[in-house]
Each structure stands twice: as C-alpha cells, then as structure tokens.
Amino acid sequence: MRFYEAIHGVYFDDLDALQILHNARYLLLFERTIGSFWTRAMGWGGTLEEGHSPDRYHLVRANHIEYVRPVTGLGEVRVRIWVEKLGRTSLTFGFRLLPMDEDLDYAVGSRVIVCIDPATRKPAPWSDMFRAKIAPFLRPPSATE
C-alpha cells in the first residue's frame, strides 16, 4: 500500500492561547493534504477544473479525528493519507498527523466521501478509471477481516 504525504507549516495564528495547534486546524491540514493528493497523485489539476473526471464530484459524509498528543509551537508537520476502504459510491481516507522527525502520531482519523452525480446530487458509482488509479493507495484487508 502506498500513502501520500504532505508537509505543512504551523504558524502563530494556528495556535491557541496555550501555544497548542487549535483543534480545528487539524482538519484544515487534512483537507489541504487531500487537495494536494487530488492534484499531484490523481492528476486532477485542481478542484475547479471541469471535464477530466466524473469522480471529482463528491461530498464529505463524515470526519473523525482522535487527538493523540498536542502539536506545540511553530514549525512543520506531516500529514499522511491513504485509502482505508473503497466502496461502490463511497471512499474512506485514513490519516495521520505526524512530526517531521518521527512516526509518533499527533492525531489520527478518517474521512468518508461519497461520489455524486453533479446534476442530481445523488450517490453515483466511482468509475473504473478512478478505481484503477486509486488502487495503489488502498490498504489491503487484514488477515482478520
């Protein structure tokens, strides 16, 4: 399984009064990483570009974040994402927020998105082309599943 990783700065305005990364910023960093993934790994060329893939139309169904330990002060962090599950119309991303120098989680979580038909806004199946392109990022099922 491959993963996609992006590096993000932590700035003064990202911090709360205790100099800890504000809880809402974790989701923002995750969002920016997914945006980068669509562009760099999937080749979508930006979220507003029309016509390259019907799969680019999707909505967020759920986000889940578990804060493991605080990000403190200014600096940089890594966000690692992969695909936990690919269903007929849904996809679940897994993510980890990590320091630059070690693989000890600051936060872990997931996001579920649903592919939609842009005209009806009803769930639509992912295309075969999308499934093939995203397959390397899909976590294989464990032996217990």
Q: How far is 33 from 93, CA to CA, in rounded Å?
A: 11
What burial class does residue 43 get, using C-beta atoms within 10 Å of its C-beta: 0-12 exposed, 13-18 middle, 19+ buried?
exposed
Is the pLDDT at 99 greater than 60, yes or no? yes
CA-based nearest residue to 91, from 143, 38, 36: 38
Model pLDDT for residues 13-65, shown as the tens digit of each residue: 999 999 999 999 999 999 999 999 998 998 876 555 556 677 888 999 999 99
- Percent pLDDT > 90 in the chain is 81
* DSSP three-state, residue 90: strand
CB atoms within 10 A of CB 98: 20
Q: Helix (H) and strand (E) counts for the chain? A: 2, 5
Q: CB–CB of 111/92 below 8 Å?
A: yes
Is the pLDDT at 89 greater than 80, yes or no? yes
Looking at domain 4-137, its CATH superfamily turns out to be Hotdog Thioesterase (3.10.129.10)
Q: Please state the φ and ψ torsions of residue 49, each to the nearest 5 degrees.
A: -75, 130
pLDDT of residue 145: 45
Q: Where are the domains of the chain?
A: 4-137
User: Partners of 115 in the beta sheet?
Assistant: 58
**pTM of this structure:** 0.89
